[in-house]
Amino acid sequence: MTFQHALMVQDFLENSADRTPAKEALICGNDRLTYAQVDAVANRFANYLRANGIGRGDRVILYLPNTVELAVGIFGVLKAGGVFVAINHTTKEDKLLYMANNCRASAIVARGRDADMIQQVMADAPSVQFAVLTERKAAEAAASHERMVAWETIQAECPETRPSRLGIDRDLACLIYTSGSTGEPKGVMSAHHNVVFAASSIIHYLQNRPEDIVIVMSPLSFDYGLYQLLMVFKFGGTLILEKGFTYPAQILQLMAKEKVTGFPGVPTIFALLLQIDLSGYDLSSLRYITNTAAALPPSHIAKIGEIFPWATMYSMYGLTETKRTLYLPPEQLKNRPGSVGIAIPGTEVWLEDENGNRLGPGEIGELVVRGGHVMMGYWERPDATAQRYRPGPIPGERVCYSGDLFRMDEEGFLYFVGRKDDIIKSRGEKVAPKEVENVLYSLPGVTETAVIGIPDPILGQAIKAILVVPDGGLTEREVLAYCKAHLEDFMVPQFVEFRDELPKTSSGKIKKTDLV
């Protein structure tokens, strides 16, 4: 009797390549690769890494935009036995250097145009042994810099045989750096078994199938984007990899042409989408739409449902420390449009107060998460790990304290209230920005809004609402009157500001720390 190894993340690609080698796996710009081709390219890269000293557990930074090399490079690092660290390509040099030294990266993959910067990072990060350069003129850049090689050279010279398997499913698959509101970025440690569990649970409730064609516009350095790649390769579908939603008309044309069935978005993308006349695009192939990063306001959910009545909408909530955490079963959307749902399949959640008491319906408390998707902790940050990951119901087990406040209804469905550190304390009352924002989003013309607290000598904190209203037509007086009609007195903003746009993080979230 043969022993069946526990699934590892690189098996997602290898199993699909064995099962359907000629199936189209990845579409990126003019490139269209089958599973067999993706597997071969990843094997060549993995063999190069192994031949140049990358071994089990070594970290490799992928400092790239959404490209074929990033998608394939992730699997190449895993095949070599390494740990991939995908870092957004807009990250500045000092932050990249910090992360390279923090995880003691052994190699960096970057674009040829960034060769000078990477050379400087390598000079100040002694763990980095070499760099691989991609895109046009990579060979020229590699020739003029020390310890650099072009991706195309690797592909031309290295064998495409699959490397032998290294490691077990308890080994790390990736580090995903997450920046909190304060402090240095922290690397969330995701073991293979964490990723396999999370991907499997999400695939199950989305009812993904090999016929699905999924478009991803979020960076693969952001776990929402990353898991689209991992999940599609696991269930054997087709992934369309785009660099963003900067040119909506082009994306919509592409979705119509390729008959996209899965559309994972974030609130900023949906806010743009709701301003566009979609009558000229045939999006009838769309089977499902997902949202995460931040909860969609109920008014946007209703509008999306009107635009795409044939597509199933999944409202969801997650955090990097547990990947996906909650999802709202689609049949509940009309009854509970403000809810982000229940625990994903195979997991458990509950609410606790500040004293560790479990809370019941109607009470507001911190969400606690238990399951196979609870990651390993923060890379070499035992203090931060102990704060976030605490003892669970079984001795030796750890559960994740989300840092987010929720309330639960009588049937156990959860409603996001706000981050613990976002709550505004005004007039002695606690105000959840999300509640005020939901009201503002229901105002005609408002596409984006953020509510923050600003210091006030009398109120403690004053409530400030910042709105994006592309067509104008709203005054401060009208906004305040609307708030007074729909909110309790203590929740009505004291200040209203209009802006052309709101600052965003690389993952598309509104960056409130830049608004204060």
- The CATH number given to whatever domain includes residue 435 is 3.30.300.30
193 pLDDT higher than 50: yes
271-275, 346-350, 378-382, 399-403: which range is least confident on average? 271-275
In a domain, 105, yes or no: yes
Any residues with CB less than 8 A from the CB of 420 and at least 6 apart, and which?
366, 403, 404, 405
Is 433 found in the same domain as 397? no
Which DSSP category does 168 fall into? Answer: -
What residue has token string 């743009």?
272
Task: Report d(CA 353, CA 423) in Å as an integer.
Answer: 15
Q: How many CB atoms lie within 10 A of CB 462?
A: 18
- Whether residue 125 is predicted with pLDDT greater than 90 in this model: the reply is yes
What percent of the chain is modeled with pLDDT above 70? 97
The answer on 330 and 183 residing in a single domain is: no
Between residues 232 and 300, the one the model is more confident about: 232
Q: Are residues 165 and 57 in the same domain?
A: yes
pLDDT for 187 beyond 70: yes
| 195 domain-assigned | no
Q: Are residues 447 and 497 in the same domain?
A: yes
Q: Residue 182's pLDDT is what?
A: 47
What is the pLDDT, as a whole number, of residue 56?
97
Whether 352 and 358 have beta carbons less than 8 Å apart is answered as yes
Domain count, the chain: 3
Domain with 93, as residue range(s), is: 10-187
Which residues have a Cβ under 8 Å from the Cβ of 459 and sit 6 or more positions away? 426, 427, 494
Does residue 376 sit within a domain?
Answer: yes
**Among the three residues 143, 158, 187, which one is the final residue of a domain in this structure?**
187
Task: Flag whether 154 is in a domain.
Answer: yes
Q: If you average pLDDT over every residue of the chain, what do you get?
A: 91
* Token digits of residue 21: 């080698």
Greater confidence (429 vs 7) lies with 7
pLDDT of residue 188: 96
pLDDT for residue 213 is more than 60: yes
- Please tell me whether residue 32 adopts helix, strand or coil conformation: strand
Residues 466 and 413 placed together within one structural domain of the fold: no
1 is a domain residue: no
Read off the pLDDT of residues 1-16 as tens digits, 9 standing for 90 and up.
Answer: 677 789 999 999 999 9
pLDDT at 460: 74
Alpha helices in 83-164 (DSSP H): 93-102, 115-124, 138-143, 151-157
* For range 478-489, the mean pLDDT: 87
Residue 329: CB partners within 8 Å, gap ≥ 6? 205, 341, 342
Residues 413 and 428 in one domain: no
The CATH number of residue 118's host domain is: 3.40.50.980
Asked if 391 and 377 sit in the same domain, the reply is: yes
**Same-domain pairing of 409 and 450:** no
The pLDDT tens digits for 279-321 are 889 999 999 999 875 667 777 888 888 889 999 999 999 889 9
List, for residues 68-105, the tens digit of each pLDDT value.
999 999 999 999 999 999 999 988 899 999 999 999 99
Residue bearing the bigger pLDDT, 506 or 261: 261
376-416, pLDDT tens digit by residue?
A: 999 999 999 999 999 999 999 999 999 999 999 999 999 98
Model pTM score: 0.86
Q: What CATH number does residue 299 fall under?
A: 3.40.50.12780
Residues 169 and 250 in one domain: no
404 within some domain: yes
Q: What's the pLDDT at 293?
A: 57
DSSP 379: T
The residue out of 141, 172, 187 marking a domain boundary is 187
- Does 121 share its domain with 24? yes
Who's near 273: CB < 8 A, 6+ residues apart? 248, 265, 304, 307
In 3D space, the residue among 397, 50, 10 whose CA is nearest the CA of residue 192 turns out to be 10
Mean pLDDT value of segment 109-116:
96
The single-letter DSSP state of residue 243 is S
Residues 313 and 461 in one domain: no
405 lies in the same domain as 466: no
Is position 287 within any domain? yes
Please check whether residue 351 lies inside any domain of the structure.
yes
pLDDT at 180 over 70: no
Domain boundary among 367, 400, 418: 418
How many Cα atoms occupy the beta-carbon half-sphere of 168 within 13 Å?
3
